[in-house]
Amino acid sequence: MSDLTKYMNDPDIVNEPMPLREVHAIRLMLHDETKHMSPEEHAVFVNAEAQAIIDKYGLKVKRSEPPLRRKPV
């Protein structure tokens, strides 16, 4: 990820309280990282980030079943 300081000094959020400013800065940073991705690329990116967090903290995740496909009427 890019340097968060650049986003923390964004003029649109500079007057926010610090915790809210951090949230907005992270949101802006993620937007810049993913804005040119296709939906498929974005899904791969999000899944990879989520898997990294799962692995880092040793979380046990129950995988959901794939959705059932309806038969055409």
SS3 32: helix
pLDDT tens sequence across 17-42: 999 999 999 999 999 999 999 999 99
Please determine, for residue 1, whether its predicted confidence score (pLDDT) is greater than 60: no
pLDDT of residue 39: 95
According to the model, what pLDDT value does residue 66 have? 78
pLDDT band at 2 (very low <50, low <70, confident <90, very high): low
* Closest listed residue to residue 42, CA positions, set 31, 28, 55: 31
Residue 49 is predicted with a pLDDT of 95
Nearest to 11 by CA among 25, 1, 23: 25
Domain residues of the chain, as ranges?
Answer: 1-34
4, 29 contact by CB (below 8 A): yes
Residue 73 has pLDDT above 80, yes or no: no
Per-residue burial over 22-32, b if 16 or more Cβ lie within 10 Å, else e, is: eebbeebbbee
